[in-house]
């Protein structure tokens, strides 16, 4: 991720980074800490929008419940106006960094792939959903995997 951000900074100069606050695993949390460090080093503003009631970077869980209630009581996020996306050819960034090889867990882009994903969840993978959703390894297979398509 740092190589991608550095490439964008070299091409386009300073920018503001917008993302949702991901609730992932130790690898994605490590990546996010590296991104935050890089942003601070280059004076890049990172607008990381909380999307769930999960509260990251807690040092003390005693106040978690009150913070969760406050977050849930907020109105839905408003549209951010004036964002200017960078103009890159589709798929350029992922192809130029490292030796990424998609696995069977990586999702394909497009409406047709979304339909196939939905169908496989409804008629196959979803049968184990209620038991598998609490397991990180099983949830990646038996969860709907529809979020990227809906976003």
pLDDT in tens, 31-86: 999 999 999 999 999 998 877 777 776 777 777 788 888 888 888 767 777 777 77
Structure tokens at 92: 């350029």
Please compute, for residue 94, the number of CA atoms within 13 A of its CA located in the half-sphere on the CB side: 5
Show me where the domains of the chain are located: 1-100, 103-151
From the number of C-beta atoms within 10 Å of its C-beta (0-12, 13-18, 19+), residue 46 rates as middle
Nearest-10 Cα torsion for 141, 29, 1, 100: -30
At residue 129, what are phi and psi to the nearest 5 degrees? -55, -55
Beta bridge partners of 46: 17
Whether pTM > 0.75 for this model: the answer is no
Let me know: does 32 contact 22? Beta carbons within 8 Å.
Answer: yes
């Amino acid at each position: 991720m740092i190589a991608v951000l550095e490439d964008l900074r070299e091409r386009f100069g300073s920018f503001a980074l917008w993302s949702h606050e991901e609730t992932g695993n130790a690898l994605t949390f490590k990546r996010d800490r590296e991104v935050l460090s890089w942003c601070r080093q280059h004076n890049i503003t990172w607008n990381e929008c909380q999307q769930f009631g999960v509260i990251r970077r807690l040092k003390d869980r005693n106040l978690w419940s009150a913070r969760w209630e406050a977050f849930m009581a907020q109105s839905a996020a408003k549209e951010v106006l004036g964002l200017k996306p960078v103009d890159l050819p589709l798929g350029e960034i992922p192809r130029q960094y490292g030796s990424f090889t998609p696995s069977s867990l990586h999702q394909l882009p497009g409406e047709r792939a979304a339909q196939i994903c939905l169908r496989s969840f409804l008629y196959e993978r979803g049968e184990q959903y209620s038991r598998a959703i609490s397991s990180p390894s099983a949830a990646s297979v038996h969860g709907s995997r529809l979020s990227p398509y809906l976003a």
